[in-house]
Amino acid sequence: MSTLLEVQGLEAFYGRTKALHGVSFSMAKGGITTILGANGAGKTTTLRAISRMVRTTGTIRFENEALERKATEDVVQLGIAHAPEGRGTFVHLTVEENLKLGAWGRRERGNLKDDFERVFAYFPALRERRRQAAGTLSGGEQQMLAVARALMLRPRLLLLDEPSLGLAPLVVREIFRILKTINQTGVTILLVEQNAALALDLADHVFLLETGRVVMEGPSDVLRKDDAIRRAYLGY
């Protein structure tokens, strides 16, 4: 199993405040990894670090290419798609325009028709609303749009920040089901979630962050049975 992403001694800063204190982990190609932790643990910051949206020290290697000196736009071109916290929808633009923009970072543009068909197959609701302003979509649909937009990049790595936030349980379960399908087509997924139960179900590997440090990691079926995790994050 080849390593897709490797992070070593990552420290991240907001101004002069240090948010990550030497995080290290690696991800294998084709898997689903989830980062769990309470509010403020540094989960979103970790994704932002990979997308080069915060100042960092330490190394980040993606398919053996160093990311530290790259800008966000370059990282996107390498095939890393980031659906950020809060969805990041272009609310004034239509669903279709949002999707077109998702493909902007692709090295080879090509015909977008097939990509459209593919994402509409995953998310039929988006096809119905393709000419609607994205801001008029419901929360669940906007989350689907965020994932769909990320997929338009034909990414090798998909970064997802709290896709369940603010959504009804049924909708969340549907989205997670689709994520599994997407992963089976070969897209590696790094998922940040507060909803530990769902995340542990979906992922094969887990990292637990506490105040900017990795305190536990391992395969999800092992960690799911761990007492500390059960009590703190699964509530039983």
Partner 1 sequence: MDIFIQQVVSGLATGGIYASLALALVMIYQATDVVNFAQGELAMFATYICWSLINGGMPYWAAFLSTLAIAFAGGIVIERVVIRPVENAPILSIVMVTLGLLVICNSVAGWIWTYVQKPFPSPFPANPFKAGNIVLGAHDLGQIEVTLLVLLCIYLFFRFTPLGLAMRAAAHNPVSSRLVGIRVGWMLALGWGLAAVFGAVAGMMVAPVLTLEPNLMGGVQIYAFAAATLGGFTSPGGAVLGGFIVGVVENLVGTYVSFIGTELKFTVALAMIIVVLLVKPTGLFGSTVVKRV
Q: Residue 165 interacts with partner 1 (CB under 8 A)?
A: no
Would you say 91 or 222 has its CB closer to partner 1? 91
Q: Residue 84 interacts with partner 1 (CB under 8 A)?
A: yes
The least CB distance from residue 48 to partner 1, in Å, is 10
Window 36 to 65, contacts with partner 1 (CB under 8 A): 51, 53
Among 29, 31, 90, 218, indicate the residue that binds partner 1 (CB under 8 A).
90
Q: Residue 102 interacts with partner 1 (CB under 8 A)?
A: yes
Among 43, 129, 149, 224, indicate the residue that binds partner 1 (CB under 8 A).
149
DSSP, residue by residue, the chain: --EEEEEEEEEEEETTEEEEEEEEEEEETT-EEEEEE-TTSSHHHHHHHHTT-SEEEEEEEETTEE-TT--HHHHHHTTEEEE-TT----TTSBHHHHHHHHTTT-SS---SHHHHHHHHHH-HHHHHTTTSBGGGS-HHHHHHHHHHHHHTT--SEEEEE-TTTT--HHHHHHHHHHHHHHHHTT-EEEEE-S-HHHHHHH-SEEEEEETTEEEEEEEHHHHHT-HHHIIIII--
Q: Residue 153 interacts with partner 1 (CB under 8 A)?
A: yes
The least CB distance from residue 72 to partner 1, in Å, is 4
Q: Residue 69 interacts with partner 1 (CB under 8 A)?
A: no
Q: Residue 72 interacts with partner 1 (CB under 8 A)?
A: yes
Residues contributing to the site for partner 1 (CB under 8 A): 51, 53, 71-73, 76-77, 82, 84, 88-93, 97, 100-102, 104-106, 149, 153
